[in-house]
Amino acid sequence: MTKVSYLGKFPIVGIGASAGGIPAMEGFFRGLPARPHMAFVIVTHLNPARQSLLDEVVSRYTEMPVLVAEDGMPTEPNHVYVMPANAILTIKEGRLQIRRPDAANRERKPIDIFLGALAEDQDEHAVGVILSGGDGDGTLGAKAIKERGGLTLAQVSDGSGPRNPDMPQSAISSGMIDLALPADRMGERLVAFARAFRVPLEETKNGAADDRLEADLQRARVEICALLRSHSGHDFSGYKSKTFIRRVKRHMQILQMPSVESYIGLLQRDANEVTALFRDLLINVTNFFRDTDHSRLWRTL
């Protein structure tokens, strides 16, 4: 599959919500600017009657166009897409894909299914957001996004939500969530994450700024590996260079680190960040959805 060049892409944010999801989405979208330079795709468990009105409800909370997803619809930045009722939603080459569920497959995990497809299609440009809801849907999808170098967020209580904490808490307990925040505080972190992808293109048309960051990380790799080894006893010096640098860059984006030196300084001061980077580097990208019932459904779409 031919993918769009790095500098031409933008984050696509998959939002999973279930019971209590409407207030959570209100907080989420009210916390975003009118043009956040991302696309948003909402996948829910809501009953069909409520789902059919979800686009109208969400449009009250944002100035972005809110559309009901259609098969083959391209995702565009500064747009919101809502999964239609009685549908399974995936994505391929940036276009939304819709299938009707098989009547024999009553047990569905629509959030896991979409986030898994998003991870495979968008790699480090994929973002998974788990809002209020019951059961553990979204946990495996968040794992897939994290394995591919994307960003994961889950809602935590701020006194007004989540109304149903099971779904975000399941994701947080898995250790696959980068940022656990109240819904209304997610927007500022997502905007900073999206800006990190645009900076190289805005600063220079030939991507020299990104090249400098790559070169700085290559030079700093020995020092970062030494910090990891002293903390964990694990030697990452033989780790695949491209993957190592991509995952360090991802942490710098999440933490809004202005330079490699500042990130190394954080590693020297904060054992929790060393542990977080260590865990990211150990993630096995081959076991997503292994031996799960809905993996077979996702793979056949």
Residues marked active site are found at 18, 45, 137
Query: Under a CB-based contact definition with an 8 Å cutoff, are residues 124 and 95 in contact?
Result: no
- Cα–chain center distance at 164: 21
Q: Which of 289, 283, 9, 244 is nearest to 123 (CA)?
A: 9
What is the dihedral angle through the alpha carbons of 263, 145, 167, 36, rounded to the nearest 10 degrees?
70
CA distance 120 to 276: 22
Contact 125, 9 (CB under 8 A): yes
Place of tokens 């009707």: 100
CA–CA separation, 268 vs 265, rounded Å? 5
As given in the structure block, the two tokens for residue 55 are 């686009």
**Per the structure block, which two tokens stand in for 284?**
């096995």
